[in-house]
Amino acid sequence: MNHQRAVFLDRDGVINRAIIKSGKPYPPATLDEVEIIEDVPAALAILKDLGFLLIGATNQPDVARGTTTKEFVETVNAILVKELPLLDIKVCYHDDTGGCYCRKPLPGLLLQAAKEHNIDLTKSIMIGDRWKDIDAGKNAGCQTIWINRVYSEKSPTPDFTTTSLLEAANWIKERQ
């Protein structure tokens, strides 16, 4: 059976605008705060035209912490899937203390998607705005692209660094 290629995308800070507080990114807390970043539709169109499956992969620990609900996260995801050509959004609802295999930087979300959608991870790419995204991609055997949003946290070592998803999509296109 022929395996698919995928681009995995972190949600907050890559697909939709993250809410920045004290130099750290947070997910939107209300539907009014959900804003798709300007270049995302054009970038995803390029990647889809190249034949990639487009799959979100997001940590949402605020559910485990009790500061948001699983229903709210699923509502935000449904909006993004409706507005964009995303096949799926995989979610880890656990906190760092949960010890789960799906929480990035571990590769569980990507491995789950690969199994469900017949994806060859060695021909796939993880795009994220935080070191945990990049490490998850590496741990799954993917190429990695870091969108540097200049957060107050450690920097990863990806295969490519950029400041926009559109530039990332064009970098991928140049290498096809």
Q: Which residues have a catalytic role annotated?
A: 10, 12
Please give the Cα distance from 165 to 128 (Å, whole number). 9
Q: Where are the beta strands (DSSP E) in the chain?
A: 6-9, 19-21, 24-26, 53-59, 88-92, 125-128, 143-147, 160-162
Q: Are 27 and 62 a contacting pair, CB within 8 Å?
A: yes
Helices in 15-147 by DSSP H: which ranges? 40-49, 62-65, 70-83, 108-117, 131-140
Q: Is residue 20 exposed (0-12), middle (13-18) or buried (19+ Cβ within 10 Å)?
A: middle
Q: Report the amino acid identity of residue 110.
A: L
- Which residue do the tokens 């990049």 mark? 134
